[in-house]
Chains A and B, each alone.
Chain A
Amino acid sequence: EADIYQTPRYLVIGTGKKITLECSQTMGHDKMYWYQQDPGMELHLIHYSYGVNSTEKGDLSSESTVSRIRTEHFPLTLESARPSHTSQYLCASSEFGDRGLNEQFFGPGTRLTVL
């Protein structure tokens, strides 16, 4: 089982609140990713990182921001949550190995509900 953790698992908050979703991995992976997934739907990449101090926007535009100050930690922040942000957020990591060949390891996800 992959050692990648996400907290909280569930979060219900009111509109306008600032939130941070935590993601940590103990595998020493350089690459980390955030995906957004609505129920029964595909995953959309919203952020990724090659390593410390590297962050990039993904395919799906998101109002969230990320930081990568430490290899093992890749938190996602929403400055002002809105009901449209209600979704499941999945964090993943992979090795910086042969191009394109490495599997991604996923955390259990955070299910966010904004009222």
Chain B
Amino acid sequence: SQQGEEDPQALSIQEGENATMNCSYKTSINNLQWYRQNSGRGLVHLILIRSNEREKHSGRLRVTLDTSKKSSSLLITASRAADTASYFCATVSMFSGGYNKLIFGAGTRLAVHP
């Protein structure tokens, strides 16, 4: 992987449960972003956390960032069947210049069963 590891690779849960996905990266970053991809579709931006932030919330999403461990986690609370998708973290390197090059992880495939 260009980025590092995302775990788990796949996660299967029941509706109402929480889903936690983890992402590790290799280089110093400017920010980290999480994206969602429904099967066979493009990616949709979910949330961005800057390198000087430790936690961020958006609706049922909670993202944490630990720059000392070069890792991030995405928590989806009270999951729904409609949350079934692949989730990718992507980092913007501090050294990427002015065009915010994203480095993607391999993704976590989440399945939420009714």
Most chain A CB atoms below 10 A, which of B2, B42, B109: B42
How far is A92 from B45 in the complex, measured between Cα atoms in Å?
11
**B92: interface (CB < 8 Å):** yes
Residue of B nearest to A43 (CB): B104
Contact B106 A101 (CB under 8 A): no
Contact A43 to B48, CB < 8 A, known contacts A99-B100, A100-B96, A102-B100? no
How far is A92 from B104 in the complex, measured between Cα atoms in Å?
14
Within 18-32 of A, Cβ neighbours of B (below 8 Å) are at 31
Residue-wise interface mask of B (11-36) relative to A, using a CB-CB cutoff of 8 A (1 in contact, 0 not): 00000000000000000001101010
Contact A109 B100 (CB under 8 A): no
How far is A30 from B61 in the complex, measured between Cα atoms in Å?
30
Give the B interface residue count (CB, 8 A).
32
**Interface extent on A, as a size class?**
20 to 34
Q: How far is the CB of A40 from chain B (nearest CB, A)?
A: 7
- Across the interface, which residues of B come within 8 angstroms of A59, CB to CB? 2
Contact B40 A109 (CB under 8 A): yes
Contact A90 to B43, CB < 8 A, known contacts A59-B2, A100-B30, A103-B33? yes
Contact B99 A31 (CB under 8 A): yes
How far is A63 from B31 in the complex, measured between Cα atoms in Å?
31
> Nearest 5 CB-CB pairs, A to B?
A106-B42, A100-B30, A103-B45, A100-B92, A106-B43
Chain B positions within 8 Å of A, measured between CB atoms, are: 1-3, 30-31, 33, 35, 40-45, 48, 50, 86, 88, 92-94, 96-102, 104-107, 109
Task: Sample 5 A-B pairs with CB under 8 A, ordered by A number.
Answer: A31-B99, A42-B88, A100-B92, A103-B33, A108-B41
